[in-house]
């Protein structure tokens, strides 16, 4: 099992027993969703922007318009903090104080690198697209030269990272255990609904299996 180096920036200080630093756990959490939040600072003002991403091996890839303030800033000062959170349930305790959330989260800190070569940009956009819905890239028209020029693509290596996981039921005080209050966990998950056809889609185009069976 590959372990990442623990640094002062990635070391979990609050409830360290919930921390994980192995690449397998971190990559599994990253693969279970496709929305991250990227934190950066401009003129002492912190910003956190949600965006989609894709993972391939030990790198996270994200993209946006060349006019994006976030991406223009990252070009000049590439230090970022990228976070991902999967919420698995609401933990309902007998006291308000001990309510919690079951979650799996990852924090990645490092320098983002811009990808400039058109063929590498296209390959990266494939990674992002197929991370969100596997198989889609092979079906669609690929970005043309103009579209690639309008798109900025970045990567960040998963080497300064940590995961934090909370699971299980409530942890109540001993003298609260006899309270007449329901306690336990309400599981939560994201599920896909029934696909909705575009109103101008040709009648002879059928729903692909990768959409029909999406999980």
Q: What is the pLDDT of residue 113?
A: 95
User: Positive or negative CA dihedral for 153, 44, 49, 88?
Assistant: positive
Mean pLDDT calculated for residue range 126-136: 97
pLDDT surpassing 90 at residue 48 = yes
pLDDT surpassing 80 at residue 78 = no
Closest CA to 88 of 102, 67, 72: 102
pLDDT surpassing 80 at residue 111 = yes
Q: Which domains does the chain have, with CATH numbers?
A: 16-173+190-212 (2.30.110.10)
Report pLDDT digits (tens) over 152-167: 999 999 999 999 999 9
Two tokens, residue 36: 């991250």
pLDDT surpassing 90 at residue 1 = no
pLDDT surpassing 90 at residue 215 = no
Closest CA to 30 of 143, 141, 163: 163
Residues 6+ apart with CB under 8 A from 3: 21, 22, 23
């Amino acid at each position: 099992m590959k372990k990442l180096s623990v640094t002062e920036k990635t070391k979990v200080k609050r409830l360290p027993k919930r921390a994980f630093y192995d690449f397998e756990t971190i990559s599994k959490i990253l693969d279970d969703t496709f929305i991250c939040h990227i934190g950066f600072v401009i003129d002492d003002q912190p910003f956190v922007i949600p965006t989609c991403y894709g993972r391939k091996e030990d790198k996270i890839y994200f993209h946006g318009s060349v006019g994006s303030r976030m991406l223009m800033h990252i070009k000049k000062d590439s230090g970022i903090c990228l976070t991902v959170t999967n919420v698995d349930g609401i933990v309902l305790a007998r006291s308000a104080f001990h309510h919690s959330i079951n979650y799996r989260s990852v924090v990645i800190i490092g320098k983002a690198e811009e990808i400039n070569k058109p063929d590498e940009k296209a390959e990266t956009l494939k990674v992002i697209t197929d991370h969100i819905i596997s198989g889609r890239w092979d079906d669609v028209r690929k970005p043309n030269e103009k579209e690639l020029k309008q798109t900025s693509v970045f990567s960040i290596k998963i080497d300064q990272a940590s995961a934090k996981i909370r699971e299980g039921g409530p942890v109540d005080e001993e003298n609260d255990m006899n309270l007449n209050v329901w306690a336990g966990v309400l599981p939560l998950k994201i599920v896909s609904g029934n696909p909705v056809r575009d109103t101008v889609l040709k009648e002879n185009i059928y729903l692909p299996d990768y959409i029909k069976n999406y999980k």
